[in-house]
Each structure stands twice: as structure tokens, then as C-alpha cells.
Amino acid sequence: MAGAGQPGAAGGAGPASGSGAEAVGYRRLVVPLLVPAWAVVGLFMVLPVALMVVYSFLTREFRGGVTWEFTLAAYDQFFVNRGLFGDEPPRLEWTYITIFWRSIWQAALATLLCLAIGFPTAWFIATRPRASRGVWLFLITIPYWVNLLIRTVSLRFILRDNGPLNEALLALGVISKPLGIINTDLAVQLGLFYSYLPFMVLPIYAAVERYDHRLSEAAADLHAGRWTILREIVIPAIRPGIVAGCILVFVPCLGAFLAPDLLGGARNFMIGSLIDEQFRGSQGNWPFGAACAVILMTMVLAVLIAQARAALRGAGR
């Protein structure tokens, strides 16, 4: 019996040792292939972020640049107002907080607007005959053949006082004088919506395309109304596409600076414009710009972590 058991044990050890050798061989093959990707991520993402964090704790050089003296002055400047000469009692600095708040609500409003337009658009495309879906997707992605800067400048040309929009409304008698759209929050909102709408359409389209429409038919057979089917069946089924689209729109809108600069002007600053000004201005404050970028990155990470935790809780159910 013992002898009979030994070959079985030996035989059982053979595959295990073989699979272990295969795993070692697999790692030896995969690791060298991953090295270029790790190098690119480290060089173009980790290193710049690390430099930004370090610069946020340095001291501003009067003529621009930094001196390597570590301090919290940049973060203090963002949150605390001590007067022009630093001799006043500290109080909360609302200037930059207001800019951040404007960035948040502009990004949130652009996300909601893109969702309101992008959801029915994606549903329409996904429910067309398969042969024509490519044409509709082609039309959605055409604007991305042109650089974002050119598209934003073109939108400014359309919205200006003597642009095509106002000229058409005046010719139709809808308005008696040109609408002052440029350099307003409305112009910034239109720029964000125009720039990032496809980021909402494409993820939702991918989710709707995988949706089993027989579920809606079954619910209708059970006398469920259209809004009930949409709320209880369709939206839960395609929620991953909706969440992905919202993140893809909200995050770049939060840090956008072309639309605020070209369409909003100095009175409608957003955080991206503030950061850009600190690095490119004649008297730029690099540590303060880096601190604003770190705060913005922290906000974005908080949004992504909250979404990931919500997704995990949903999966746990």
C-alpha cells in the first residue's frame, strides 16, 4: 500500500513542479516586455508628478523660478490671506477658493449637459442598423480631427458679437442687438460642452451596444412603463458606461484652461488658467502653481477613489 501510494505522490508532485517552472518561465518572459512600459510611465508620469509635488514646497525666486528652500508658503498663500505685506491678521483667502469652486461647478454642469445630450445620442446610434453605426460614430468623432485650440478659436469666432450666431439671430429678428456671449460663464460652458461631448457619447454607446434589449421587451410585456423600464432596467445595466463617460468629461473639464482663457476672459478664471498663468506669466510663481496643481490632483484622486469604492460596493451586492 505504501509503495502504491508513493508513485501517486510522486505523480502528484510532477504537475505541481511543472506548473511552478512554467510560472517562473512566464515571469522571465513577461518582465522584460514590461520594462519599456514601466520606463515610459515612470519618465512621463511619475517623474513629472514627483517634480510638481517637490516644487510646491520650494521657495519662489523673485525673478521667476525657485530656490531650494523648503517651505509651506505656496499652500499658505492659497488658503490664507495675510495682507499685502504679510502684517495683517490671517484670514481665509477666498480668491483662489472661488476659482476652484467655479472650476468644480463648471465641470459638473458640463458633465450634466454632456450626459443629457450624450445619452440619447449614444442610444440612437447603438440602436441603428449595424451597417450605419459606423457612419454615425464617424460624424461624432470628426471634430477630433482638428486640434482643440483650433476648435476653441473657431467657437469664439462663432459666438463673438459680429459672429455668425449673432448675425443670424439679428437677420431673423429674434434679437435687436448682439448677445454678449464672449467672456461669460455661458461661453466657457459652451466651450467645455463642445470639446468633451464625444467623451460622453462613446462609453455610453459601448455599454448600450452590449445591452440585451430583450430585457426591455420582457418588462414591457409585464406592463412596465417607459420611465420604469429606463430607471429600473436600462440605467442599471449601462451604468458602467455612464460612470465612465462622466469621469472622462468631468476630470478634463476640471483642469481645462483653453476654454476659460479664450472664451471666458480674466473674469471667468478656472483652476487650469490659474496654474498656466503661474508658470507662463512674466512674474510667475512656480511653487504656487505647483501647489495649485497638487490640490487639483488631490481633488481628482478623491473623485476617482469615491467612484472606485462605489463600484466595489455595487459589485458586493
Residue 68 placed within a domain: no
Check whether residue 46 and residue 113 sit in a common domain. no
| Exposure b/e, 221-241, CB count within 10 A at least 16 = b | eeebeeeebeeebbeebbeeb
Is 241:204 a contact under the CB 8 Å cutoff?
yes
Position 5 scores a pLDDT of 47
The answer on 34 and 117 residing in a single domain is no
Task: Report the C-alpha gap between 258 and 272 in whole angstroms.
Answer: 8
CB contact at 8 A, 201 and 118: yes
Q: Are residues 48 and 117 in the same domain?
A: no
What CATH number should be reported for the domain holding residue 154?
A: 1.10.3720.10
Q: What is the DSSP pairing of strand 66-67 with strand 59-60?
A: antiparallel
- How many domains in the chain? 2
Radius of gyration of the chain (CA): 27
- Compute CA distances 288 → 57, 235, 261, 297, whole Å: 9, 42, 19, 14
Same domain, 45 and 144: no
Cα–Cα distance list, 241 to 124, 203, 244 (Å): 15, 5, 5
Q: Are residues 130 and 274 in the same domain?
A: yes
Residue ranges in the chain whose pLDDT is less than 70: 1-26, 84-87, 281-283, 314-317
Residue 115 and residue 254 in one domain: yes
At 197 the pLDDT is: 92
Let me know whether 158 and 307 are in one domain.
Answer: yes
Residue 269 and residue 146 share a domain: yes
Q: Is residue 258 part of a domain?
A: yes
Q: Are both 108 and 250 inside the same structural domain?
A: yes
Residue 89 located in a structural domain: no
For residue 177, the model assigns a pLDDT of 87
So what's the pLDDT on residue 8? Answer: 47
Question: Domain range holding 27?
Answer: 20-55
pTM: 0.81
Rounded-to-integer distance, Cα 111 and Cα 192, Å: 9
